[in-house]
Structure 1
Amino acid sequence: MNIPGPEPRSDGGVGAVAAAGGLHTYQLRLHAEYGPVVRFQLPGVETAVSVADPVLLEATAHIDKRPESLFAFLAPLFETGNLQVMPAGEHTPWRRLLLSVLAGRPSHERHFTQFTALATALADRWAERAGRQPVELQKDLTELSLRMICAYALGGDTADPGGIVAAFEEVLTEYLGRLYEVPDGGGREERTRRAEEALAHLRATVDRVVLAHHRGSHPDKSDLIGALVEAGERPARIRDTVMVAMLAAHHTTGVAVSWTLHLLGRHPEVAERVADELDRVLGDRPVPEYADLRRLTYLEMALKESMRLYPPGPYGARETTVALALGDYEIPAGATIFYPFWAVHMNPDYWPEPGTFMPERFTPEEAAKRPRLAYIPFGLGPRSCEGAALAMAEAQLVLAVLLKRFRFRPAPEHEVTPTERFVLWADDIRMTVSPRRTGEEAR
């Protein structure tokens, strides 16, 4: 059976994607019009198929190959080959090593105090602005996210964390600018030079940490670098792995927290339930301990529902190596299969009233009613995000620290529109922040 989809266009599909406001919204429109499996055009991709049904996705979950052309823009960041598209045979042991660190509770606990200090420092800065001017959530929270991953990946005694953050922003801005064809406007050579200098600075920083690990002189070791050193990885591969960890984690946590606060600000009754749970679990303590996260069940449900409505990464992609049967359709070898996370999360067959914010969808009873792949904010299969558990712990911690201290409300006359910039971004999310008092201190 032929896969349904729009008629081919002479521009290779560029105009249709642009007219929809980006690939994330284009996929929503395609699936609304053509159903759960859609063929569409995309520049540089001969056969593109998007699949928004979680049951059909099961047939693709084993695929361990990413389309190289879609990730080519990241290649200059790496010295040992593009880690985003490494061959399956090499990728499997590398992934196993990363999961042994990033998914492990002991590693999370060791860094939790430092994460808490970083989140508290941001809350202190916002407290100075409370009631006076709105805060720019995504700007501040993505910087916090990067500071957290720097502390995690490089260890806690990095001499100049602010410099690391600035350098990585320089690199990311340059390479994402190329991906999204940001107008030059002059100064391209100067921007390229700055990005190359920033990249060299980052690599040199990692080298110093690696050397300290070898000498045993690093007082607060990086679990990530320590595992890579112990596994006998060469310095260039260690540098690349730290870079990919920073890349993956940079916006993800900050964006997820931003969208959650945005939704809670528009649903004060849900925000009140979250606040009540924080008071019940934490009492007078301003911040949680790591063990408290498991008891903040409604906060976790609110976060998951936010990531359903606004998945930080709006889509993923794999490449078939052999022909694949997908329901009534046959996908040829060499095809690019898109995972439209946003469209999957908005599928009304599995999410009644999909546009409504309802954290109760994530009670154990409700979750058990849905197919396994109905909710995939971190992807699926052997190329899913290795740092998912770490990202969730970070996001829950940041939300707990902020919501224990503040109430958030939308800034007057400020519209928030999702845009796709490697993650599901917005121009910014501005909200007013007011101090929150509980118990006898309530005013």
Structure 2
Amino acid sequence: MSREVPLVAGHALLGSLKELREDVLAAYLRAQRTVGDVVRFQAGPPGLRTEVYGVFSADGIQQVLGSQAANFRKDNPTYTEIRESVGNGLLTSQDDEYVFQRRMVQPLFTRRRVNGYADAVHAEAIRTIEGWKSSPDGVVEASAEMAEFSLRAVTRILFGADIDTALDVVRRQFPVIGDSVLRRGVSPVRLPRTWPTPANRRTLAAQRELYDVCDRIIAQRAAAGERDDGSDDMISLLVRGRDEDGSGLTGAAVRDQILVFLLVGHETTATSLAYALHLLAGHPEAGARARAEVDTVLAGRSVTAEDVDALPYLNQVLKETMRLYPAAPIIGRRAVADADVAGFRIPAGADVYLAPWVTHRHPDYWERPETFDPERFTPDREAARPRYAWFPFGGGPRACIGQHFSMLEACVALATILQRYDIEAYDPPGHTVSAALGMALRPAGPLRVRVTARTMEAAA
């Protein structure tokens, strides 16, 4: 028989509102440590009080994302705001629409196709790090640098030759969209988008400009006809794509996919790379081992997609970085019907949140969970853990379609950096940078590292 989910103790009037607003990641972590693996929060004053559930154990997560996935849908406020802001793409679509979109988009993310993006990633990595040679005192702010690299790389892969047309608009307007999604997604009272408030006007203007640039480029591709002219950017591939019955995506549907890829694609990889540089700088032995592996495998030549599997330690570094700093630290769902999750009753209509940030630190799965240790991800140790002890890309039928691309992009970029620069800590020992929750996890302050250019002869 299912048990009642225990309530996290909070303020008599406001419940857990203050804790959740100030630092939701810390609040979830504290709840797991003090209450358990399935918890219930109440937040807000009577009459406006909301209730949310947290599930933190690997078996509970497997049920929500895997075996009971049909009962836990993307119907919560955050996904609603994403739909309203950037369209109903693969991230937010459901049911038959999702199945159709997944079928149309899947060819863009086969291993062969993703490997073909490696050259573009490498070129943008080189473009970014060339400027480091003139950095004052050799100090760079890793978060800003990796954000610019990832934005350029993803925009180039999506828009191809039109990168310069799209990049300025994306760079200026996506933060406006992201801030709106976050603000409205957590607000207990959401004013209609049609009301002419300053925030609504800013968001609408940003949306119009983003839609306009995407629509123009998509229309140009469509005007060229369905012929394969050799263009392999994602817009061209989506415009030319056809289902088995000959149907394809409309121009608006192509735009929805492109904007969703931009929304979730550039910040997530930027987060992983920035924290990887920060961690390697603070752990010189791991940094030296990763650099030695890159030097041995590449022997002075540029990294290719085929090298990624030959860099196991570098992949372990990235996986451990994603454990400590998952780009998507919280994943939300809404229950359709009553459900039993890990022995507890989740009622119909409940908002349920999974937290990689918490599960990736769960003491049942991770010894010394706050310690950076890439050795956790050797094949033997990975196989010994529950499947959902580590899930930075989600899981089940809605697992991230771009996880192979994300790993390839991060590995190619990090190998390129380590081949050309020594990375050292800049901030004093013990310096910590807290994490903030945006559209993706991001540092709350600067992540500074000191870089020293290496000669290619030294890397050979």
Q: TM-score, normalised by structure 1?
A: 0.89
Q: In the alignment, which residue of structure 2 is the partner of 1:55?
A: 59
Q: Partner amino acid for 1:135? A: V
Query: What CA distance in whole angstroms lies between the structure 1 residues aligned with 2:391 and 2:9?
Result: 29
Answer whether contact 1:174 1:195 (CA < 8 A) is retained.
Answer: no
Query: What CA distance in whole angstroms lies between the structure 2 residues aligned with 1:194 and 1:133?
Result: 39
Match of 1:418 among 417, 431, 435: 435
Q: In the alignment, which residue of structure 2 is the partner of 1:86?
A: 93
Q: In the alignment, which residue of structure 2 is the partner of 1:26?
A: 27
Q: In the alignment, which residue of structure 1 is the partner of 2:245?
A: none
Q: In the alignment, which residue of structure 1 is the partner of 2:180?
A: 175
1:176 shift after superposition: 4.6
Would the alpha carbon gap of residues 368 and 151 (structure 1) be closer, same or farther in structure 2, given more than 3 Å must change? Answer: same
Q: In the alignment, which residue of structure 2 is the partner of 1:68?
A: 76
Query: What CA distance in whole angstroms lies between the structure 2 residues aligned with 1:52 and 1:189?
Result: 35
Q: In the alignment, which residue of structure 1 is the partner of 2:108?
A: 101
**May I ask how many residue pairs the two structures share in their alignment?**
433
Answer whether contact 1:418 1:424 (CA < 8 A) is retained.
Answer: yes
Query: What CA distance in whole angstroms lies between the structure 1 residues aligned with 2:52 and 2:202?
Result: 34
1:123 shift after superposition: 1.4
- Paired residues for 1:71-150 under 5 Å: 71-79=79-87, 81=88, 84-102=91-109, 104-129=110-135, 132-150=137-155
Answer whether contact 1:46 1:335 (CA < 8 A) is retained.
Answer: no
Q: Partner amino acid for 2:257? A: T
1:292 shift after superposition: 0.7
Q: In the alignment, which residue of structure 2 is the partner of 1:408?
A: 423
Query: What CA distance in whole angstroms lies between the structure 1 residues aligned with 2:396 and 2:116?
Result: 28
1:193 shift after superposition: 6.3
1:75 shift after superposition: 3.2
Secondary structure in structure 1 of the residue aligned to 2:137: coil
Query: What CA distance in whole angstroms lies between the structure 2 residues aligned with 1:322 and 1:194?
Result: 39
Q: Which runs of 5+ in 2 are unaligned?
A: 188-196, 243-247
Q: In the alignment, which residue of structure 2 is the partner of 1:249?
A: 265
- Paired residues for 1:274-293 under 5 Å: 274-285=290-301, 287-293=302-308
Query: What CA distance in whole angstroms lies between the structure 1 residues aligned with 2:322 and 2:43?
Result: 26
Would the alpha carbon gap of residues 46 and 225 (structure 1) be closer, same or farther in structure 2, given more than 3 Å must change? Answer: farther
Answer whether contact 2:178 2:439 (CA < 8 A) is retained.
Answer: no
1:337 shift after superposition: 1.8
Secondary structure in structure 1 of the residue aligned to 2:225: helix
Question: Once structures 1 and 2 are overlaid, which stretch shifts more, 60-69 or 8-17?
Answer: 8-17
Would the alpha carbon gap of residues 82 and 242 (structure 1) be closer, same or farther in structure 2, given more than 3 Å must change? Answer: closer
Q: In the alignment, which residue of structure 2 is the partner of 1:309?
A: 324
Establish whether residue 269 from structure 1 lines up as the match of residue 280 from structure 2. no
Query: What CA distance in whole angstroms lies between the structure 2 residues aligned with 1:328 and 1:84?
Result: 29
Query: What CA distance in whole angstroms lies between the structure 1 residues aligned with 2:236 and 2:253?
Result: 10
Question: Once structures 1 and 2 are overlaid, which stretch shifts more, 120-129 or 308-317?
Answer: 120-129
Answer whether contact 2:90 2:101 (CA < 8 A) is retained.
Answer: no
Match of 1:430 among 442, 448, 453: 448
Answer whether contact 1:156 1:221 (CA < 8 A) is retained.
Answer: no
Answer whether contact 1:155 1:222 (CA < 8 A) is retained.
Answer: yes
Would the alpha carbon gap of residues 419 and 26 (structure 1) be closer, same or farther in structure 2, given more than 3 Å must change? Answer: same
CA-atom RMSD in angstroms: 2.8
1:107 shift after superposition: 1.4
Answer whether contact 1:265 1:271 (CA < 8 A) is retained.
Answer: yes
Secondary structure in structure 2 of the residue aligned to 1:433: strand
Establish whether residue 220 from structure 1 lines up as the match of residue 268 from structure 2. no
Q: Which runs of 5+ in 1 are unaligned?
A: none
Question: Once structures 1 and 2 are overlaid, which stretch shifts more, 235-244 or 429-438?
Answer: 429-438
1:97 shift after superposition: 2.9
Q: TM-score, normalised by structure 2?
A: 0.86
Secondary structure in structure 2 of the residue aligned to 1:7: coil
Secondary structure in structure 2 of the residue aligned to 1:61: helix
Query: What CA distance in whole angstroms lies between the structure 2 residues aligned with 1:312 and 1:281?
Result: 28
Over residues 278-311 of structure 1, what are the superposed CA-to-partner deviations in whole Å (9 max), with x where a residue is unaligned?
11100122x2111011100000000000100110
Over residues 144-179 of structure 1, what are the superposed CA-to-partner deviations in whole Å (9 max), with x where a residue is unaligned?
112111122223454535324424435435525644
